[in-house]
Structure 1
Amino acid sequence: MNHYDSALLRQYEPIIHFTQGEQFFPIDVERYVQACSYWVQRPGQFPLRLHDQGEVTLETLAEPHLFPMGSIPYLKFIDPLQISEMAALRIREGLENWGDKNRFRAGRGRLARVGYISRFVDALFSLSLLLRGRVPGDTALAAVQAFQEMLAEDETYRYYGRVVRENGWIVLQYWYFYAFNNWRSGFYGANDHESDWEMVAIYLYEMDDGKVEPEWVAYASHDFSGDDLRRRWDDPEIRTEDGHPLIFAGAGSHAAYFQKGEYLAELELPFVAPAQSFVDRLQKLWRRIFGQDDVPIETKWSDFAIFKVPFVDYARGDGVSIGPGRAKTWAEPGLFGPEVPLWVTQYRGLWGLFAHDPFSGEDAPAGPMYNRDGTVRHAWYDPLGWAGLDKVTPPNRLLHEINHHREQLKDECLTLRDEIDRKQEMVAGLEVALEAMRGQPHLQKEEDAHILQLTAVAQELQTLKNKTAANESVAEALEHYANRVAKGERVPVRAHIKRPHHPATDAGLRRSRFAEAWAAISIGMLMVGFVLIALLATNYLLVGFTALLSVVIFVEASVRGNLTRLISSITIALAIVAALIVIYEFFWIILVMIVLIAGSYIMWENLRELRF
């Protein structure tokens, strides 16, 4: 990588703000690799250790290996602890956290922020951890200790930079490597896994005078993709200091956010995805029919995602900060260019423990270039399309692109008009021929053929005219757009965002103590209630279950402030049921009345046309 590109990376390198209590920070991958052992999981066999801890280097990862199909090579950072070692770590952690005002404190209301079914799915997800592959509970504690020892030897923080030039854009990619993701064990999140690769991209363009300007920045964040990943540089949501964008990293998850706060992240389990899709369509239909389309976007994306497991990502920004102007700064970055290191291109395995998790949430990720299955990451091979920028023109080329497209449309219109003239002549000639054949029985076949041809050519002619009119309208719109661009006007800064991700509001986060307690006990209480009714009131199962569900639904709606909506929905449902009962009981009478009314109306409308 040349000096100019390296300087660009340093000029715009982000500042990361972590949450108080964060225990893992971006480091040099070589230090991590040297602390790992190297394994391969072959189909139907026990894991095979290829290299012991201390023997693995980046050159080792770059070496070619021939494994059976379906094999998964992986690194292993932490070996299982003995019971005595784990107990010692637990005691040490407890003593260190005792009275520590800087330790992490979870916000209230994770389960209170979502609906009852989401909490039920959350309970299933928690139980699934007992059955599916996961990172052992002692691994996170041992990883913290190992990482602290690394920092004690050399407190150096590093990122890896990559510069890509494509379609007029200069893409600065910042890759951050973390030794461990302890979102689940440390911050009540969705998963734990060894190693973690995160990426942020800044998109620049070069002016005619050679000056480079930033235009977009995109942060990788959980289940967001495409246009929703990026913000324009002048978006108020983006905070910068001396040209360095601020990143607020999720505690343990290391997902990147534009604003500090607590974010509700939702995990969709594969086996309930069809049910969630069906419910989404049903809710849209319900709101459209009964006029409930005024529900806020944030509510649609959280409260109504009833089959998704809710987790809070704490990106408070009140902990350690790393970057320019901070007490902790970035060391000289590792560079992915001009020649990408072989350990990036050749090693397609996992960068940590392969936990055999069918959901993959507990399995370590692959490197910056690859997905877990060995395919190339979208962000690597298509850095523009990853953030939805493959369709966006850099500002310095925008006016030229507008005028070029307008001229193309004009040229196309000229071609279309020539074709229209030709088709018009054909239509006229066919019509003349048909008029000439009228009354000539011996030309019946020729007349039929001419009619078919005339119909087809007339349709083609109409299509050409429609296309021409549309092109002329677009060309006119482009001309107006070019005038606005020339005056310095821009597209609204957030026009491209379909799914905004804002931190939860104080009202959404800080519910009453009763709401918090209800959210914590509601699922278990319902399960216990079902069992008690089944054991103690076997003669009244239906009544008991109905009463229990009614109480749960009523309390749930009350604590979530949806009691009015619940009553409205129940009223509508009862009205529909009552209408169906009436129709069923008086079907023939209703049918006769409808026929009589319809017949009378038709006679009245027809009689009104008569003039006596």
Structure 2
Amino acid sequence: MQDSDLLKKYEPVLRFAKSERFFPMAVEPYLDRCHLLPSGPQGAVEMLLHLHESVRTRIGKLHSGEYYLRFVNDPLIDSDVWVWWGALSVVIAVAGWFVSGWLGVEIAAILSLTAAFVIFMQASPIRLRIIPAAFVTVIFITLEVAPIWFFLTPHPFISVQIEYLVLLPIYLIALFYLFVRTMKFIFDHIIPELPGVVMDMLSQATETVARKSYFQYAEMTEEERQPVYYGRVIHENEWTILQYHFFYAFNDWRLGANGINHHEGDWEMAAVYLKHDEPYAVLLSQHGSGAMELWKDVRRVRDTDGEETTHPLIYAGLGSHANYSKPEVIRVHRLFNEGCLQRFLYWTDGLLRFLFLLFNPSQRARQIALHELATHPATALTEETFASLRDEKDHYLVSLPMEIATGDGFRIGVDGDHKHEEVGKSTSYLKRVMSDREVTHPPSREWRQVLISEETDWVEFKGLWGVKSLLADESGPPGPKWGRPDQFFAVHPRKRWEHPLEWLRELESRR
């Protein structure tokens, strides 16, 4: 049987959550919209040799890993604007000095700071949500503490007894009530956004970039009507390995499911392992690692007669596109080992909310916190406790990142008796504004198969397939063959590409 026929025989069916925005697509339209940028000196020098070639043409000719692609090219949403802001601020300050001396410099500084605030605010919608809320909080706190001056100032028409025995207790009661309401406002409108806004400020893949990426992807679906998988077949001794590589224009996990990261570009993979021409297992990529299911345990598509076919069912995580063998909703602080900053932010969120429970006017809230301290004193303030603890209204204490692979949305792959395929309900875990957000599905639900190998030009690209950020988790991913460049820009092949049987043994050992 030809390689293409083998891939067709076992090609998977992908099921997505209802509000998924990005689906497997062809690489070429993405490359046509990208800018290729160097991230190191060797990359800058090497780019000069192919300066006038298109990204699609030159991407396979570059030997260094000192590159990254940038899909959304808007100078008002990334570091470029701050370079321009700094340069123009200096020019305006110098001009102000020559025109009006120090007064001109002061005016230039005010204009520069105002421009910086406007740039910062418009860079991402999450900042527009949290800054006004923080401003309202400051006003509330100011109004709460302002009456203190009244008790520190003598009043000839009010006796000391009335002031301290009547008015002061009334003020303290009102202050306590307003303080609790203010803290509630902070926990409802500010604390939940803090992890996101911190990540947003450290990332080039901001919420605005996520939205713009979606609009660009939606435009591309008008030309590329079919979802694409890149197939590769490896024959090694008694093994035949069928790899299905999926490329997505963007990973909006943080926006879509309160996840850990955002990044431009996303490569995922599923592989069917045949031993002596018989299916043995299905391996699935998940956040740089993977999972394995023996063939006998794999959920498969059924035909119209109810018989199992050779097409495995795969459930893609909302935003993250990690692959799962069954409908999953995972709510846990350790979705993967990386993301230390993100985990610290979620732990801080949990600590603040736990303290609010402990000092809450609600007796039931205090009892929950005190019971946790009494029964588990050593683990009361750990991530594990915060992940499972509920408040007095039986709501989870913190909003942890979730992996939502429910499969209740768009379906790609061979048709069959898919009405009886197991799915979850993503709307049970999402805010209405997110579960009902605008999505664009590919016009076709059938796969377009494209074979790739070592000779495919873009496969040899060793750089990142998305914009580079300060945090590795927020930077674009490496391609299907090469791993992420290390601190010295050395690049090594991925185990699942170069040594797929080692990857199989590694995942088998975890079962």
TM norm structure 1: 0.46
Instruction: State which structure, 1 or 2, has the greater radius of gyration over its C-alpha atoms.
Output: 1
* CA distance in 1: counterparts of 2:48 and 2:226, whole angstroms: 29
Out of 38-47 and 149-158, give the one that drifted further.
38-47
Instruction: Report the counterpart of residue 129 of structure 1 in structure 2.
Output: 199
Give yes or no for the alignment of 1:314 onto 2:376.
Answer: no
Q: How many residues align?
A: 319
* CA distance in 2: counterparts of 1:188 and 1:342, whole angstroms: 36
Q: 1:169 to 1:122 in 2, by over 3 A?
A: farther
Q: 1:127 to 1:156 in 2, by over 3 A?
A: closer
Matching residue within 232, 248, 271 for 2:294: 232
Matching residue within 250, 256, 271 for 2:323: 256
* CA distance in 1: counterparts of 2:288 and 2:465, whole angstroms: 21
Instruction: Report the counterpart of residue 386 of structure 1 in structure 2.
Output: 503
Matching residue within 403, 413, 434 for 1:323: 413
* CA distance in 2: counterparts of 1:344 and 1:45, whole angstroms: 18
Matching residue within 420, 439, 452 for 1:336: 452
The answer (yes or no) to whether the contact 2:268–2:285 under 8 Å persists in 1 is yes
Instruction: Report the counterpart of residue 11 of structure 1 in structure 2.
Output: 9
Q: 1:59 to 1:44 in 2, by over 3 A?
A: closer
**Structure 1 residue 336: deviation in Å?**
2.0
The answer (yes or no) to whether the contact 1:176–1:199 under 8 Å persists in 2 is yes
Give matches, 1:55-70, under 5 Å. 56-64=54-62
The superposition leaves residues 139-162 of structure 1 with CA deviations (integer Å, 9 ceiling, x where unpaired) of 111111101101122312111011
Give yes or no for the alignment of 1:179 onto 2:249.
Answer: yes
Instruction: Report the counterpart of residue 33 of structure 1 in structure 2.
Output: 31
The superposition leaves residues 5-57 of structure 1 with CA deviations (integer Å, 9 ceiling, x where unpaired) of 11000000000001111111111101111111111122699999979999634
Matching residue within 349, 355, 369 for 2:463: 349
Matching residue within 71, 81, 97 for 1:77: 71
Q: 1:14 to 1:54 in 2, by over 3 A?
A: farther
Give matches, 1:110-125, under 5 Å. none
Matching residue within 250, 273, 279 for 1:214: 279
**Structure 1 residue 250: deviation in Å?**
0.4
The answer (yes or no) to whether the contact 1:36–1:54 under 8 Å persists in 2 is no
* CA distance in 1: counterparts of 2:283 and 2:270, whole angstroms: 6
Give matches, 1:231-310, under 5 Å. 231-235=293-297, 238-241=299-302, 242-265=309-332, 266=334, 267-269=336-338, 310=400
* CA distance in 2: counterparts of 1:249 and 1:271, whole angstroms: 24
* CA distance in 2: counterparts of 1:382 and 1:155, whole angstroms: 34
Give matches, 1:127-166, under 5 Å. 128-129=198-199, 132-166=202-236
Q: Which amino acid aligns with 2:477?
A: P
The answer (yes or no) to whether the contact 1:247–1:258 under 8 Å persists in 2 is yes
Q: 1:342 to 1:128 in 2, by over 3 A?
A: same
The answer (yes or no) to whether the contact 1:38–1:50 under 8 Å persists in 2 is no
Give matches, 1:448-459, under 5 Å. none
3-state SS, counterpart of residue 153 of structure 1: coil
Matching residue within 240, 260, 270 for 1:170: 240
**Structure 1 residue 270: deviation in Å?**
6.6
* CA distance in 2: counterparts of 1:50 and 1:78, whole angstroms: 23
3-state SS, counterpart of residue 505 of structure 2: coil
Give yes or no for the alignment of 1:369 onto 2:484.
Answer: no
Q: 1:50 to 1:149 in 2, by over 3 A?
A: farther
3-state SS, counterpart of residue 163 of structure 1: strand
Q: 1:129 to 1:375 in 2, by over 3 A?
A: same
The answer (yes or no) to whether the contact 1:15–1:244 under 8 Å persists in 2 is yes
The superposition leaves residues 240-292 of structure 1 with CA deviations (integer Å, 9 ceiling, x where unpaired) of 3321001110011000011113123524457689x9xxxxxxxxxxxxxxxxx
**Structure 1 residue 342: deviation in Å?**
2.9
Q: Which amino acid aligns with 2:223?
A: E
* CA distance in 2: counterparts of 1:47 and 1:315, whole angstroms: 43
Q: 1:187 to 1:46 in 2, by over 3 A?
A: farther
The answer (yes or no) to whether the contact 1:169–1:203 under 8 Å persists in 2 is yes
**Structure 1 residue 60: deviation in Å?**
1.2
Give matches, 1:527-566, under 5 Å. none
* CA distance in 2: counterparts of 1:78 and 1:53, whole angstroms: 20
The answer (yes or no) to whether the contact 2:331–2:402 under 8 Å persists in 1 is yes
Q: 1:52 to 1:271 in 2, by over 3 A?
A: same
3-state SS, counterpart of residue 463 of structure 2: coil
Q: 1:174 to 1:51 in 2, by over 3 A?
A: farther
Instruction: Report the counterpart of residue 200 of structure 1 in structure 2.
Output: 270
* CA distance in 2: counterparts of 1:313 and 1:52, whole angstroms: 41
The answer (yes or no) to whether the contact 2:36–2:55 under 8 Å persists in 1 is no
3-state SS, counterpart of residue 244 of structure 2: strand
3-state SS, counterpart of residue 286 of structure 2: coil
Q: 1:46 to 1:216 in 2, by over 3 A?
A: closer
The superposition leaves residues 172-223 of structure 1 with CA deviations (integer Å, 9 ceiling, x where unpaired) of 01000001111112322111100000000101123xxxxx321100111136
* CA distance in 1: counterparts of 2:193 and 2:19, whole angstroms: 26
Q: Which amino acid aligns with 2:246?
A: Y
Q: Which amino acid aligns with 1:243?
A: T
The answer (yes or no) to whether the contact 1:37–1:49 under 8 Å persists in 2 is no
Q: Which amino acid aligns with 1:328?
A: S
The superposition leaves residues 286-340 of structure 1 with CA deviations (integer Å, 9 ceiling, x where unpaired) of xxxxxxxxxxxxx99x869xxx994101111111111011783444411124x53
Q: How big is the alpha-carbon RMSD for the aligned residues of Structure 1 and Structure 2?
A: 4.2
Q: 1:47 to 1:124 in 2, by over 3 A?
A: farther
Q: Which amino acid aligns with 2:269?
A: M
* CA distance in 1: counterparts of 2:264 and 2:49, whole angstroms: 18
Q: 1:341 to 1:61 in 2, by over 3 A?
A: same
* CA distance in 2: counterparts of 1:77 and 1:52, whole angstroms: 20
